[in-house]
Amino acid sequence: MRLGRRDIREVRIRRFIRRHFGVRPRSLKPYLEALRHSSSLGCQRDGLSSNERLEFLGDAVLDMIVVDLLFRRFPNGDEGEMTRMKARLVSRESLNYLGEEIGVEHLLDAQTGKAAVHASLRGNAMEAVVGAVYLDRGFHRTQKGVLKLLKRFDLEHRLQATVDFKSKLHEWGQKRKKKVQFKVTGEFKREGQQLYKMQVLVGGKVMGTSDGPSKKSAEQAAAREACRHIFGDE
Write down the domain spans for the chain.
Answer: 5-153, 163-231
Q: What phi and psi, each to the nearest 5 degrees, are found at residue 61?
A: -65, -45
pLDDT of residue 224: 84
Helix (H) or strand (E) holding 210: strand 205-212
Domains 5-153 and 163-231 agree in fold:
no
CATH number for domain 5-153, candidates 3.90.1170.50, 1.10.287.3510, 1.10.1040.10, 1.10.1520.10: 1.10.1520.10
pLDDT of residue 81: 73
Which range has the top average pLDDT, 103-107, 183-187, 228-232? 183-187
Inform me whether the pLDDT recorded for 186 exceeds 80. yes
Which residues are known catalytic residues? Answer: 59, 127
CB of 66 closer than 8 Å to CB of 84: no
Per-residue pLDDT averaged across 40-56, rounded?
74
pLDDT of residue 193: 74
Strand bridging mode 193-202 / 205-212: antiparallel
Query: Model pTM?
Result: 0.65
Q: Which residue has the higher pLDDT, 168 or 62?
A: 62
Q: Which residue has the higher pLDDT, 231 or 144?
A: 144
- Rounded to whole angstroms, how far apart are CA atoms 198 and 44? 55
- Rounded to whole angstroms, how far apart are CA atoms 211 and 197? 4
User: For 94-108, 169-183, 199-213, which range has the lowest pLDDT when averaged over its residues?
Assistant: 94-108
- Rounded to whole angstroms, how far apart are CA atoms 223 and 157? 12
CATH second-level architecture of 163-231?
A: 2-Layer Sandwich (3.30)
